[in-house]
Amino acid sequence: MDVKKVNTKPRWKKPLLGLSALASLALLGSLWASPGYQHKIDRAGLLLAQVQRGDLQISVDGYGVLRSDKQTLLTALTSATVQQVLLRPGAQVSADSVILQLSNPELLQEVEAAAMALAQEEANLKRLKLANQRERLAELSVQAELDANLQMVTLRRNAEQQLVEDGVVSSLTYQTTVLQQQQMAQRLELQQQRLQQLDEVITQAEIIQQEQINQSRARYHTMQQRAERLTVRAGMAGVLQRLPVELGQSVAAGQELALVGSDKDLLALVRVSQSRAEQLQVGQAAQINTRRERVAAVVSRITPEVREGTIEVELAFTEGVPASARPELNIDAQIFTAQLTDTLYLERPVNVQSHSSGNLFKVAEDGRALAATALQFGDDAGRYLQITGGAQQGDTFVLSDMATFRDAELIQLQ
């Protein structure tokens, strides 16, 4: 006879096991559904900063180079060939420092020809003066002879006048003497006029010849200056900044040979974004960073021309040129445009611009999570950004690039 087996296990355990499984699944689902566990990040790899309150100096950043305020551009006065290169860019120079030696044999021949032409014209003037002197002496001799004859005729007339009254000399003889005196006086007057005109002619002839000499001398000096400019000198104390020619190169008249600039009178030429231009004014304080030191400066000029989205701003040193400064040195600059008092600010996060809004991850009070927080940003202060909404003093935010977590609302810190 078969005996029916009775199940001795309690029947209530099966429902409990089912409930336990469901609870486990629900708990696991809730854990996976929680944003805090969807994303995790290592705290050590984050750059964090606290929101601060206080005064904030608003600035505009720029970049550029130092340039000499005084520069001399050396150009070729005539076509030539570079015969020697004596100095290279970066060399310290004085006014008499020789940078290049040029060669132009034809120019030297022209100098010699101009010198000979000048000497010839000067010799012509000497000959002219001698000839004029001889001619004038001859005319003076004629005048002296006429003057003597006039005096003799005058004496005879005076004598005959008394004799005519006494009846010793006839009236005809006396009248003839009077006529001779008048003719002689006229000849003497004409000779005097001729001598005066001769002096004027001599003066004009010598002036004309002197002008010929002046023209020849000017041409000679021009040729001589061109020849002297074959020896290219710096012309001022400073630094040789540019030398665009090489040994053996042929250069044309007017072509650039070198650029020399002062190493004492420097200024900064800084490129600033066009969007920040309206904040800039001449006279604003600035700071120049030469990579070795920071030096005070002031805005001295703002160029209105826009190039590649930037404008050029000129900064002048206010406390002297620093020792580390040199022409063409790359520099950074800050131009201080305003001063904010008692405001909230934060170190500049990655990929955040002034006068914008966006989300940053704020560290929770327990330090175990990051929560996406909407912030409003105000003015740009270089390293810092003003916060106009969404944060309080002491809040800690992530400054690092969190683009990979842009859709996350909560991140667990490890």
Residue position matching structure tokens 């250069």: 251
Same domain, 378 and 270: yes
Beta strands (DSSP E) in 319-407 are 330-347, 357-363, 369-381, 384-389, 396-398
Measured CA to CA, the distance from residue 247 to residue 273 in angstroms comes to 42
Residues composing the chain? 414
Q: Give CA–CA dist 129/276, Å, rounded.
A: 77
Same domain, yes or no, for 48 and 162?
no
- Report yes or no on 89 lying in a domain: yes
Beta-ladder partners of 295: 288
Domain with 141 in it: 106-228
pTM for this prediction: 0.57
- Supply the CATH number for residue 383's domain: 2.40.30.170
Classify each residue of 271-306 as buried b or exposed e, where b means 16 or more C-beta atoms within 10 Å of its C-beta. bbeeebbebbeeebbbbbebeeeebebebbebeeee
Question: Per the domain annotation, does 43 fall within a domain?
Answer: yes
Instruction: Write the CATH number for 240.
Output: 2.40.50.100
CB atoms inside a 10 Å sphere around CB 195: 14
- Give yes or no for a contact between 41 and 370, defined as CB atoms under 8 angstroms apart: yes
Strand order in the sheet with 92-93: 71-75, 256-261, 238-242, 92-93
Do 235 and 224 fall within a single domain?
no
CA 277 to CA 312: how far, in whole Å?
A: 10
DSSP string, 13-27: HHHHHHHHHHHHHHH
How far apart (Å, rounded) are the C-alpha atoms in residues 39 and 410? 7
The Cα 220–Cα 198 span in angstroms is 33
**283, 389: one domain:** yes
- Residue 5 within a domain: no
CA–CA distance from 354 to each of 60, 61, 379, 399 (Å)? 11, 13, 5, 15
pLDDT in tens, the chain (414 residues): 333 444 444 443 444 334 433 433 343 344 334 444 478 888 888 999 999 999 988 888 899 999 998 899 999 988 999 999 999 998 999 999 999 999 999 999 999 999 999 999 999 999 999 999 999 999 899 999 989 988 998 888 888 887 877 777 788 888 888 898 899 899 999 989 999 999 999 999 999 999 999 999 999 999 999 899 999 999 999 999 999 999 999 999 999 999 999 888 899 999 999 988 888 999 999 999 998 999 999 999 999 899 999 999 999 999 888 888 888 899 999 999 888 899 999 998 988 888 899 899 999 988 889 999 999 999 888 788 999 999 999 999 999 998 888 888 898 988
Tell me which amino acid residue 278 is.
Answer: E
> Are 172 and 205 part of one and the same domain?
yes
Task: Judge whether 349 lies within some domain.
Answer: yes
Question: Do 332 and 391 sit in the same domain of this protein?
Answer: yes
- Domains of the chain: total: 3
Note whether residue 9 is domain-resident. Answer: no
Q: In what order do the strands lie in the sheet with 98-103?
A: 231-233, 98-103, 80-85, 250-251
SS3 call for 230: coil
Based on the domain organization, do 297 and 375 belong to the same domain? yes
In a domain, 21, yes or no: no
Instruction: Please tell me whether residues 63 and 78 are part of one structural domain.
Output: no
Choose one of 241, 261, 281: the last residue of a domain: 261
**What six digits make up the tokens of 261?**
């600039």
> Which residue in 113, 115, 408, 99 sits closest to 259, CA to CA?
99
User: Same domain for 239 and 250?
Assistant: yes
Q: Name, in order, each residue with C-beta under 8 angstroms of 50's C-beta and a sequence gap of 6 or more.
A: 346, 394, 395, 396, 397
The reply to whether 154 falls in a domain is: yes
**Residue 188 near residue 146 (C-beta atoms within 8 A):** yes
Same domain, 157 and 146: yes
How many helices (H) and strands (E) in the chain?
4, 21
Q: Is residue 27 part of a domain?
A: no
Q: Contact at 8 Å (CB) between 314 and 68?
A: no
Same domain, 215 and 245: no
The reply to whether 289 and 389 lie within a common domain is: yes
Domain boundary among 238, 261, 284: 261
